[in-house]
Amino acid sequence: MATTVRKSFCRVCHNACPIQVEIDGGRAVKVRADASPTHGGYTCARGRALPDIENSGSRLLHSMKRTADGSHVPIETSRAIAEIADRLGSLIAEHGPRSVAWYGGTKLSPNPLSEPMSMAFMDAIGSPMRFTANTIDKPGKVIAKGLHGSWLAPTHGFDEPDVALYLGANGLVSLAGTPHGSPGRFIAEFRARGGRLIVIDPRRTALAARATVHLQARAGHDAAILAALLNVILAEGWEDAEFLRENVSGVDELRRVVAPFTPQAVGDRAGVDAADLVAAARIFAQARRGFAVAGTGPNMGAGNGTLVEYLVLVLDTVCGHYARAGDRVRNPGTLIPRVPAKAQASPPRPAFGIGERIRVRGLSNSLAGMPTAALPEEILTPGEGRVRALIVLGGNPAVVWPDQVLTLEALRDLELLVTLDVEMSQTSQLAHYVMASQMSLEVPGYTLLSDLLLFYGNASSGFVDAAAQYTPALVEPPPGSDVIEEWRFFHELAKEMGLALNLRAGASFMPGSPPPTPLDMTATPTGDEMLEILAAGSRVPLAEIKANDSVALYPDETCVVAPKDEDWPHRLCIGDETMLAELEALAPGRWRDTDAAFEFRLLSRRLDHMLNSSYNIPATNRGKNINLAYFNPDDLARLGLADGARIELVSARASIPGIVATEPGLRSGYISMAHGFGGVHDTEAEFASAGSATTRLLSATEVFDRYSGQPLMSNVPVNVRVTG
Ligand SMILES: Nc1nc2c(c(=O)[nH]1)N[C@H]1C(S)=C(S)[C@@H](COP(=O)(O)OP(=O)(O)OC[C@H]3O[C@@H](n4cnc5c(=O)[nH]c(N)nc54)[C@H](O)[C@@H]3O)O[C@H]1N2
Ligand SMILES: Nc1nc2c(c(=O)[nH]1)N[C@H]1C(S)=C(S)[C@@H](COP(=O)(O)OP(=O)(O)OC[C@H]3O[C@@H](n4cnc5c(=O)[nH]c(N)nc54)[C@H](O)[C@@H]3O)O[C@H]1N2
Ligand code: SF4
Ligand SMILES: [Mo]
């Protein structure tokens, strides 16, 4: 067969890089960047390794069933679906629909149909127990937006900012807080234009190295630091007074609560110079346009991610970082209904304690979804409605859910654990059934996720200008394999259980979105037919997007921010009572020192070559298959340790092995180590091949965000035991 080159976009991470895929003998053999107006020919090493990822020796080519002795044997996919249908049917009959839970991980993203079809299935069985990785990531973003209200026009975001503040986010590696495209080029061009960069991170990250001001603060003090910045801005009169007067409530309440957070007191506490805090506040507030964005670190570092995200929104609001009447909307969405823009606030709304309740710790559903960190207890707590079955799609609870000890106990306690995965992940090793899934190049797709990111958080990611790309399936699954598209699994399962499914449109929460489409349960639709349903009502018809074989811009010159309606009563709220009460409790003088018994704090971090636990294979890790424990060189010298030394990290909860490495830019007293590694059997062989699970050191129940249930996952008190 001749070699052909087809265009597509990479679905390994959310950055949607346009690619050219060389296909030989029906297999992808090479991936290179495609020139494009959006990404400027950018790809990363992971994307270019896509042929190796999809054809790797560890790729799962057949579904698996667990046998009585705990090992797995291949099973025909259709047979597995019939058996799962049968088991689910009996569990629902015996324990009710709530006994069936679903968890979607980061790999929901390669296929836009995965999540909507999962939801259609959960609707059909009538279970509210739907969990995602969002509540162990940055759940505060969505909850805080609920409490604060949203501006019904764009934020400045990536649209020609003069200032950017990154709080514990490292976009140059994670592509979080950078627009679609090359993150390095975005930052370089921003700096070259005179843009000023503020980074707050205990580690001198690649991004911090390019900053105008790097506040190398202690972890876990982000709420206090943000309060100090707000205090300086309001005290100096640098706020956007007119915007606040017209559109915002709670200014006086905020002013009162942030007043005790002086730069001196907060600087002393967080280990930074008061003068640097003041400088950062001045730079941020005196810029014309800008954004602030928080990453995972501050969301995980003190069990108060919602408060941190709320104060980040407040910072942008106080500085008026919003499009005004007459401004053009550069990205009104493409594969979703047109987002109308008006220079006015949509008011705060209930954001937590809504919908289904968890039976432990008073936790419940929130705008960020059900609290994933509480699902293990929900599984292990006897009583009516107890979760007995869990379907995991593109996630890896066994190594990434906080509190691995509790998680493994819960996963082992389930009567039915099903995973949809592409390899025998750590979670799959515990599953009753593992459904071998098709991979991205084998399924059609489009950049719906990029549009949905517009609603996620200010300046989180996405296209700056309206753009979209469709890709057909480029290759067939490997010969002799028996793999299934994730959405089809749910379609087949529903058929088998005699259920009817209704598919919601991609942005079903938007006004103007069509009602759910009843699916023909006697038919076997194609992925392309399903994508049509999902894009119903889109601003640009799917046919038009399909007509371009690469990413294209779909501007709408007529989309301009309309003026505020006359007598529009609503305002953004920067004085939310619950948030301010939580902040008040952190005021200087009310601080308590905790965990003095632990010498170090363990920080979360991301690695260039990985995506959480996915694709730890030679083509991506190039021999670096374990997660090293990075230390400041002075700390290592004091401990008498050198690179490669074996240690034990000990928290109040558990201990894990680690291998030492030096990171000169890390603040003393911290260890920086990636999650998503390790095994489930606690063996030396697992450590040698896959490193260790930092989630084992975490407790889900000690320190946690009371709105999302997200526990302390960074800044975790640990001691170091030298073992050799
Ligand atoms: N200690 C600590 N814990 C953390 C974090 C941290 O910073 N520190 N970060 C948290 C965050 S932000 C997140 S998002 C979560 C991640 O939580 P998860 O999403 O649950 O974990 P991933 O490791 O991303 O899991 C991806 C799984 O999908 C599989 N996979 C890969 N490609 C495909 C595909 O095409 N189809 C299917 N069906 N499966 C596929 C992979 O093999 C892997 O098993 O972890 C959280 N946990
Ligand atoms: N290459 C790569 N890219 C990824 C991923 C990956 O695994 N690899 N994962 C993806 C996922 S799921 C997500 S959610 C995003 C996450 O993207 P980011 O949020 O940018 O995640 P990190 O790169 O870990 O950066 C977090 C930073 O927070 C700092 N930090 C830790 N604790 C604290 C604290 O208490 N306060 C402050 N101020 N800083 C702190 C850490 O030192 C670290 O530099 O990345 C996505 N992109
Ligand atoms: S940044 Fe890398 S992994 Fe992400 S979409 Fe682009 S090429 Fe793929
Ligand atoms: Mo994440």
Map residue 199 onto helix, strand or coil.
Answer: strand
What span, in angstroms and rounded, lies between the C-alpha atoms of 386 and 15? 38
CA of 671 to the centre of ligand 2 (A): 14
- Cβ neighbours of residue 309 closer than 8 Å, sequence gap 6 or more: 138, 140, 141, 143, 144, 145, 294, 299, 457
What span, in angstroms and rounded, lies between the C-alpha atoms of 213 and 164? 11
- Whose tokens are 């973003």? That residue is 141
> What does the H/E/C string look like for 326-364?
CCECCCCCCCCCCCCCECCEECCCCCEEEEEECCCCCCE
Beta partners for residue 716, in sequence order: 602
What's the whole-number mean pLDDT along residues 697-723? 97
Q: Return the pLDDT at 338.
A: 87
What span, in angstroms and rounded, lies between the C-alpha atoms of 54 and 441? 8
Atom of ligand 3 nearest to the CA of 43: 7
Map residue 404 onto helix, strand or coil.
Answer: helix
CA of 397 to the centre of ligand 1 (A): 8
DSSP H or E segment with residue 256: helix 251-258
CA of 380 to the centre of ligand 1 (A): 23
What's the whole-number mean pLDDT along residues 396-422? 98
| DSSP structure string for 638-660 | HHT--TT-EEEEE-SS-EEEEEE
Residue with CA closest to ligand 2 atom 32: 297
Beta partners for residue 64, in sequence order: 74, 434
Q: Return the pLDDT at 672.
A: 98
CA of 582 to the centre of ligand 1 (A): 31
Q: Return the pLDDT at 595.
A: 79
Q: Candidates 77, 421, 485: which one to mutate for ligand 1, based on the most atoms within 8 Å of Cβ?
A: 421
CB distance 374 to 490 below 8 Å = no
Q: Candidates 43, 175, 447, 609: which one to mutate for ligand 3, based on the most atoms within 8 Å of Cβ?
A: 43
CA of 296 to the centre of ligand 4 (A): 7
Phi and psi, residue 217, nearest 5°: -75, 160
pLDDT in tens, 63-74: 999 999 999 999
Task: Please report, as a single letter, which amino acid is at residue 613.
Answer: S
Map residue 618 onto helix, strand or coil.
Answer: helix
Residue 480 pLDDT exceeds 90 = yes
Ligand 3 pocket, Cβ-based, cut-off 6 angstroms = 10, 12-13, 15-17, 43-44, 46-47, 175
Ligand nearest to the CA of 672: 2
CB distance 378 to 370 below 8 Å = no
CA of 605 to the centre of ligand 1 (A): 14
At 122, list the tokens: 């959960």
Angle between helices 251-258 and 222-236 (to 10 degrees): 110
CB distance 75 to 65 below 8 Å = yes
How far CA 20 is from CA of 257, 468, 505, in Å, comes to 54, 16, 29
Grade residue 623 by pLDDT with cuts at 50, 70 and 90. Answer: confident
pLDDT in tens, 489-516: 999 999 999 999 999 988 888 877 888 9
Phi and psi, residue 105, nearest 5°: -105, -165
99 lines ligand 2 (CB under 6 A): no
605 lines ligand 2 (CB under 6 A): yes
- Whose tokens are 């201990």? That residue is 655
What span, in angstroms and rounded, lies between the C-alpha atoms of 649 and 629? 9
Atom of ligand 2 nearest to the CA of 714: 32
CA of residue 518 relative to chain centroid, distance: 30
CB distance 336 to 111 below 8 Å = no
Task: Please report, as a single letter, which amino acid is at residue 638.
Answer: R
CA of 170 to the centre of ligand 2 (A): 6
- Whose tokens are 């309309």? That residue is 562
Q: Return the pLDDT at 430.
A: 98
What span, in angstroms and rounded, lies between the C-alpha atoms of 369 and 141? 12
pLDDT in tens, 165-213: 999 999 999 999 999 999 999 999 999 999 999 999 999 999 999 999 9
419 lines ligand 1 (CB under 6 A): no
What span, in angstroms and rounded, lies between the C-alpha atoms of 36 and 1? 29
pLDDT in tens, 269-286: 999 999 999 999 999 999
CB distance 712 to 703 below 8 Å = yes
Is 0.85 topped by the overall pTM? yes
Residue with CA closest to ligand 2 atom 47: 174
What's the whole-number mean pLDDT along residues 221-232? 98
Ligand nearest to the CA of 208: 2
CA of 479 to the centre of ligand 3 (A): 27
Q: Return the pLDDT at 449.
A: 96
Phi and psi, residue 153, nearest 5°: -145, 170
